[in-house]
Amino acid sequence: MSKGGVVTFRGSASAAENYLRETYLREGADLPVTHIAVENGQASVRDIDGEQFRRWMEHRDPFDADSPVRGQQRGGQRKSPVYHEVLVSSSKSLSLAAAANPRIGEALEAAMARASVASVEAFAEHAVGRAVMQTRGPQIAVRATRVEATHVQHTSSRGGDPHYHRHMQLLPRVQVHTRKGLEWKAVDGSMVYAAAGRMSAAADLAMSTDPELRRVIAEERYTWEPGVGGGKIAEFEPFVDDFSSRRDQVAAHKEAAEASWRSENPGKEPSARELRAWDQLGWATDRPEKKATAKTAADVIEDQALRLAEVVPQNESRIVVRQDPSTIDPDVIAREAVKDLEAHSTAFSRMELLAAIDRRVADTYVMRGDALTVRSAAIEAATGEVLELDGLDPQNDAKRTRFTTRRVVANDSEVSRRLQKRAQRGGHNGHVAADRGGFSLSEDQAAAARSITGDHALVVVEGAAGSGKTTMLEAANEELLAQDRRLVAISPTKRGALEMGKSIGAQATSVHSLLVAAGASFDDRGRWTLPLRWKPQSDEWRMNKDTVLVVDEAGMLDKETAWALHRYADEQGVGSIVLLGDSKQLPAVGRGGYLRDAWGATTAYHDLKDVRRFRIADGKSTTPQIDTEYADASLKLREREEPEAFVALLQARGQVRTGEVDEVLGRVAETVALETEAGESSIAVASTNTVASRINRAVYDELVARRTIDASVVVQGRDGDPIAKGARVATRLNDKEMDVANRQVWEVHSVQWGGSVIVKDVESGHHRTLDPDYVQDNLQLAFAVTAHGAQGMTVDTAHMVLSDQTDAAGLYVGLTRGRYANVLHAVAVAEDEADVLEQFTAAVSRVRGDEGLSAVQETIARERVQQTAIEAQPERDSLDLSLEEGTFELEPKRRRRWALEGVDAGESAQEAPVATRDALEDYRGEYAKEISVLHQRALERSRENYPAGGEWRWDIEAAEELLSAAEEAQQAMQQRPGTPDAFRAQLEGVRAEFAAQQRAQEQIRRAEQERVAAEARDQRIAEVLADARVRFPGETKQLALARRTELTTADPSMSPDEATRQIRRELNDAAANGTLIDSLQGIRTQNHRAQIEKDRNQGCRPLSVHERLARVNQRSREREASQDHGMEL
């Protein structure tokens, strides 16, 4: 689960049946399917057979053969998901131990069954459905009262090696309470994906703390250690890599056999016998580069068992290691969990916080009962580690409660402050040669280039895909060189930096490489530690006021790294920082929002929209025309506008393909293979690594069959990918010695028998030799990539595979890579344009990734407005109902009441509703909200006057009161012109109440903003003062003493305590506005110069900078040892 996340299965009933047969019947017999239902927090578990499982997949009651579809009928085409699937997996070493020892295997299966229940219970804790709760109201999230799931135990992977895991299917419908009672409604799909991590963590915690599993492992004399997937078995850990490699080899052979069979049997599905035959074929082939041997699958499995039987248990004492919960500090658990979250999220939900705590508790030696105690204490402790961003906690949507941390707020604030400080300097534009010899820069390009060549301290240039950002920067660089200024390019990725440097002819490296070379370091969470003094750089990387530092793909730079970069750039005196990127494309992997904050701060902002990438392929012209129609449509897609028009354009061009899952992926692979064989550049873009891997293997097999790839010598790459001569591959790890970058694409030139691979850059022709270890761990096929791998690419044709995991940024990237064609592939019923449009529109609406603190606050503000609107809906509904009754239903209800009271209605009463309705309509347009308030008050009075009246009587009384008041006011004005409008005055009074409430709320909001700002300021001051204590202890004391002398000299009556308080206030102000460190650095420089001058006057050799720095550091250590920091005045 932790690797695969959520897989949404949609398609026809036959496709679901085929998936069922392939996944669960490979071993030749039906496996028991377990049904789990969690209702109001109580779980029930029952085994079901294959027929009941199929009934459940049809969204019917599995225990009632005649039951109807639960919830709204999905339709014959079955467009909505059949189910959402997740995995509950054990660790590899635990699976190997279970395969070697039947007792452990039995205990592990039982523990995984209990873990699956815990996972579904965690899902039920947060699950919501979408329902309309009020008449004419919007769909809102409603807490689910019942959720259902099924799961099946597997003991081996598709490759046949030991891998205990459970496939768990979540019913995409949940039972909720609505105004009509209990109903089945569609589950909130975004919540399912958000809950995947929570479910995974709950399952891992349940397995790791399972007392029965731990007891059996100890009794069998094995050593259990904490870890993901239920923990690790130390004795089997050395075998993990060997078995994983063998699994990947077998999977590759089986997929090749399946691809060959399908090509010979189009339109057919393999039988269970054929599936098992492919298993045997996969195991019968020893190595990719060797011929098949005579071994059968049974022989290989027996060989495995013999190898595992050689493992010698080491836990001779048979003691179950159990940690006393009193030895675990819940504060530490909470603190580390929060650090895990803040590493990649500006804000997080309670659901994410619980998952992080579960993972930390699972990494201890506690048992289940103690684990729950520790977990509860850690959850309580976590409240002191986080800041709540809003008081809004809708009861039906746990995702929306957002928390952050003090470090995130301080970090965000400092980055914003440094951006604003640069922006406030202003600047003037420079010059640029717009004529590029054969073409000219667009007006937007030229304007952006002039800002870069001027003296702006901060420039932000965004640009749509294909708008010529690199071309613009190349022109700017030429002008900068003419000014004797230097452009240095950096990027979040080394691949991006290399491509940028090569394109514009400038020095380029990754942001991380630059900072690490300067002395900074980062941990496995991505948290940076900056040096007390930056290391001097070589001439090519030395920066000053004449340096223009360009950050390419700035939208992908995380906020933590941006903080470190700005500290470095500002302290090096970098003259200008240029941020280049597109906030509409892929966001940062960690905390994001950097580019967003930058364009909000700078006055030198440009957005390039003259898109020239897309061309019309007519097959005749050597210079194809620009495809302006597609360019304009891509700009709309970039802004998440008019998805219907974009799909219509693709359909009109014949660039939408549909089908079942296997059909879609097979067609994509075959098309990419044909285009590659024809010498065209082509790429498939998928939303997940799993889908990309499937397409890669299929393309490889197709090209091997066509002899485009020479498979005479093959080695195994990352994830078992076959690497052979002619294959397109990507390196997945930066390596300075081999001179390769992550996600850099190559063509395999040759494969050596020793396992090394020589790759070639197709454009430059340069070769690199990759050693066998690098190949196995970091080289993979690259015919298909995810959106992160595709960003920055331009090819002839791009194929975008649409799925439920596709988001707006990934969709935009995938559909703008192709120069001549961008084809959309969707899993949908053939020719069902509505289904494709629905999926496409859903993808456009998915905005993922972290966009920073300001974006979170804007989202919270929008949600408050939505929540207010939802809360006000009953009042609006009540008013609308009253008006409708005044027109159509009020008269019958009046007659009923009069009849009960013995009143003769008469003809005049029949005309009253129309007249009173017209009277109220005159006010309703201007005072709709105020009328709803008066109606609610009248309703409350009616309930007080007639306690036993019933809803119908109360509502009629309230409606009549309002209608009568409006009618009397109008009659009075008609009879005596100039008479004050009493009803309008009443409405104006309500409006004045609203205004007063809004003013009060605004005061509260401002006070909250001031409080948060004050907390951020205090945090910033504390960090700067702490930094000053460590880096400038002597200078801090010197500054304070000098200032005390100034104060007491200027005012002899000032006491020492008053002077101390004044100095503290000034130090705090200096720390807050960022001038304290600069002042202390200035004092240190003056002291150094004074000491050098003194040494010269005394005839001594002046100390070098390094010697003096060593002396300063020694004095700092001495002061720290004596606790005399000079700050505690």
Residue at 1037: amino acid letter: K
Tell me what percent of the chain is helix, strand and coil, each rounded to the nearest 5. Answer: 55, 15, 30
Which residues touch 395 (CB under 8 Å, ≥6 apart)?
A: 143
Report how far apart, in Å, the C-alpha atoms of 184 and of each of 142, 174, 917, 1037 are: 11, 5, 39, 70
Read off the pTM. 0.68
- Kindly state the helix (H) or strand (E) to which residue 423 belongs, with its residue range: helix 406-423
pLDDT at 690: 84
pLDDT at 231: 93
Structure tokens at 61: 């009651």
Instruction: Please report which confidence band the pLDDT of residue 1008 belongs to, taking 50, 70 and 90 as the band edges.
Output: confident
Structure tokens at 423: 């922006």
Fold of 413-604: Rossmann fold (3.40.50)
Structure tokens at 523: 């941990």
Q: By CB neighbour count within 10 A (0-12 exposed, 13-18 middle, 19+ buried), where does 900 fall?
A: exposed
Instruction: Please report which confidence band the pLDDT of residue 648 belongs to, taking 50, 70 and 90 as the band edges.
Output: very high
DSSP class of 383: T
- Cα–Cα distance between 365 and 418 in angstroms, integer? 45
Beta strands, E only, 738-811: 744-751, 757-760, 767-770, 779-781, 784-786, 795-802
| pLDDT value at 347 more than 80 | yes
- Cα–Cα distance between 729 and 718 in angstroms, integer? 10
Strand 682-686 versus strand 33-39 pairing type = unpaired
| pLDDT value at 147 more than 90 | yes
pLDDT digits (tens, 9 = 90+) for 734-783: 888 898 988 899 999 999 888 899 999 888 888 999 999 999 999 999 99
Report how far apart, in Å, the C-alpha atoms of 708 and of each of 348, 727, 760 are: 49, 8, 16
| pLDDT value at 170 more than 70 | yes
Structure tokens at 1054: 């000032």
Query: Dihedral through CA 923, CA 926, CA 930, CA 936, nearest 10?
Result: 50
pLDDT digits (tens, 9 = 90+) for 77-134: 445 678 888 888 899 899 999 988 999 999 999 999 999 999 999 999 988 887 765 5
Structure tokens at 269: 């599905």
pLDDT at 850: 81
Report how far apart, in Å, the C-alpha atoms of 43 and of each of 122, 153, 374, 532, 1066 are: 11, 19, 23, 56, 61
pLDDT at 940: 76
| pLDDT value at 76 more than 80 | no
- Cα–Cα distance between 960 and 948 in angstroms, integer? 18
What is the mean predicted confidence (pLDDT) over 608-618?
A: 87
Q: By CB neighbour count within 10 A (0-12 exposed, 13-18 middle, 19+ buried), where does 648 fall?
A: middle
- Cα–Cα distance between 179 and 49 in angstroms, integer? 35
Structure tokens at 814: 């995938």
With contact defined as beta carbons under 8 Å apart, do 106 and 179 qualify?
Answer: no
CA torsion sign for 1090, 1091, 1094, 1096 is: negative
pLDDT digits (tens, 9 = 90+) for 583-595: 888 888 888 889 9
With contact defined as beta carbons under 8 Å apart, do 169 and 149 qualify?
Answer: yes
- Cα–Cα distance between 240 and 1029 in angstroms, integer? 48
CB burial readout 931-953, b (16+ within 10 A) else e: bbbbbeebbeebbeeeeeeeeeb
pLDDT digits (tens, 9 = 90+) for 903-936: 343 433 333 333 344 566 667 667 777 777 787 7
- Cα–Cα distance between 812 and 815 in angstroms, integer? 5
801: β partners? 825
With contact defined as beta carbons under 8 Å apart, do 1059 and 1047 qualify?
Answer: yes
What is the mean predicted confidence (pLDDT) over 1076-1101?
A: 75
| pLDDT value at 982 more than 50 | yes
Q: In residues, how long is the chain? A: 1129
Looking at per-residue confidence, does 578 or 132 come out higher?
A: 578
Q: What are phi and psi of 716, to 5 degrees?
A: -95, 130
pLDDT at 1113: 56
Looking at per-residue confidence, does 499 or 337 come out higher?
A: 337
- Kindly state the helix (H) or strand (E) to which residue 519 belongs, with its residue range: none
What is the mean predicted confidence (pLDDT) over 64-77?
A: 65
Domain parsing of the chain, residue ranges: 6-251, 325-400, 413-604, 628-845, 1018-1124
Q: At what angle do helices 982-1031 and 1056-1073 cross, to 10 degrees?
A: 100
- Kindly state the helix (H) or strand (E) to which residue 1026 belongs, with its residue range: helix 982-1031
Strand 795-802 versus strand 710-716 pairing type = unpaired
- Cα–Cα distance between 454 and 118 in angstroms, integer? 61
Structure tokens at 408: 């995130």
Structure tokens at 4: 């695969």
Residue 968: other Cβ atoms inside 10 A: 14
- Cα–Cα distance between 557 and 204 in angstroms, integer? 32
- Cα–Cα distance between 457 and 447 in angstroms, integer? 16
Helices (H), ranges, 172-239: 189-208, 211-219
Range scoring the smallest mean pLDDT among 159-168, 819-828, 902-911 = 902-911
Supply the DSSP string of 695-708, one letter for each residue: HHHHHHHHHHHTTS
With contact defined as beta carbons under 8 Å apart, do 588 and 555 qualify?
Answer: yes
The rounded percent of the chain whose pLDDT value lies above 70 is: 78
Instruction: Please report which confidence band the pLDDT of residue 445 belongs to, taking 50, 70 and 90 as the band edges.
Output: very high
- Cα–Cα distance between 352 and 359 in angstroms, integer? 11
- Cα–Cα distance between 830 and 832 in angstroms, integer? 5
| pLDDT value at 73 more than 60 | no
With contact defined as beta carbons under 8 Å apart, do 807 and 644 qualify?
Answer: no
Closest residue by Cα to residue 824 from 797, 846, 849, 847: 797
pLDDT at 11: 64
With contact defined as beta carbons under 8 Å apart, do 728 and 746 qualify?
Answer: yes
Closest residue by Cα to residue 475 from 498, 444, 499, 517: 444
769: β partners? 758
- Cα–Cα distance between 965 and 983 in angstroms, integer? 6
Report how far apart, in Å, the C-alpha atoms of 852 and of each of 143, 347, 583, 847, 858 are: 28, 8, 12, 13, 10
pLDDT digits (tens, 9 = 90+) for 395-420: 444 445 688 988 888 888 899 999 99
What is the mean predicted confidence (pLDDT) over 875-885?
A: 48
With contact defined as beta carbons under 8 Å apart, do 1030 and 424 qualify?
Answer: no
Q: Is 41 left (phi over 0), alpha (psi -120 to 50) or beta?
A: left
What is the mean predicted confidence (pLDDT) over 782-799?
A: 92
What is the mean predicted confidence (pLDDT) over 874-897?
A: 44
With contact defined as beta carbons under 8 Å apart, do 231 and 386 qualify?
Answer: no
Instruction: Please report which confidence band the pLDDT of residue 71 belongs to, taking 50, 70 and 90 as the band edges.
Output: low
pLDDT digits (tens, 9 = 90+) for 1096-1106: 676 665 555 45
Q: What's the chain's Rg over C-alpha atoms?
A: 35
Instruction: Please report which confidence band the pLDDT of residue 1019 belongs to, taking 50, 70 and 90 as the band edges.
Output: confident
Query: Dihedral through CA 538, CA 544, CA 548, CA 554, nearest 10?
Result: 80
Range scoring the smallest mean pLDDT among 495-509, 669-683, 1110-1124 = 1110-1124
Residue 865: other Cβ atoms inside 10 A: 9
| pLDDT value at 394 more than 90 | no
Structure tokens at 663: 């059909």
748: β partners? 759
With contact defined as beta carbons under 8 Å apart, do 61 and 184 qualify?
Answer: no
CA max distance for the chain: 122
pLDDT at 1102: 56
Q: What are phi and psi of 797, to 5 degrees?
A: -135, 135
Residue 448 CA to chain centroid, in angstroms?
Answer: 31
Mean pLDDT for the chain?
80
Q: What are phi and psi of 507, to 5 degrees?
A: -65, 140
What is the mean predicted confidence (pLDDT) over 670-691?
A: 92
With contact defined as beta carbons under 8 Å apart, do 300 and 279 qualify?
Answer: no
DSSP class of 887: I
Instruction: Please report which confidence band the pLDDT of residue 293 belongs to, taking 50, 70 and 90 as the band edges.
Output: very low
With contact defined as beta carbons under 8 Å apart, do 811 and 646 qualify?
Answer: no
pLDDT at 286: 41
- Cα–Cα distance between 611 and 618 in angstroms, integer? 19
Range scoring the smallest mean pLDDT among 274-283, 643-652, 664-673, 687-696 = 274-283
